[in-house]
Amino acid sequence: MTAYQPAAFARFGDVAVRLSVELGRTEMPLRDVLSLGEGSTVVLDRLTDELLDVTANGRVIARGEVVAEKGRFALRIVSLVGEEGQNEPPAAAPAEPVMTVAPAADDTL
- What percent of the chain stands above pLDDT 90? 50
Domains of the chain in start order, with CATH, are: 7-88 (2.30.330.10)
Q: Which H, E and C letters describe the chain, residue by residue?
A: CCCCCCHHHHHHCCCCCCEEEECCCCCCCHHHHHCCCCCCCCCCCCCCCCCEEEEECCEEEEEEEEEEECCEEEEEEEEEECCCCCEECCCCCCCCCCCCCCCCCCCCC
pLDDT at position 47, please? 93
Q: What is the pLDDT of residues 9-34, one digit of tens each?
A: 788 888 888 999 988 999 999 999 99
Question: What is the CB neighbour count within 10 angstroms for residue 64?
Answer: 17
pLDDT at position 27, please? 97
Whole-angstrom Cα distance, residue 105 to residue 46?
59
Residue 2 identity (one-letter amino acid)? T
What backbone torsions phi and psi does residue 32 show, to the nearest 5 degrees?
-70, -40
In angstroms, the Cα distances linking 48 to 4, 23, 43, 52, 65 are 30, 10, 11, 10, 10
Q: What is the pLDDT of residues 49-65, one digit of tens each?
A: 899 999 998 899 999 99
pLDDT at position 92, please? 46
pLDDT at position 13, please? 83
Q: What is the pLDDT of residues 89-108, one digit of tens each?
A: 444 444 443 443 444 444 44
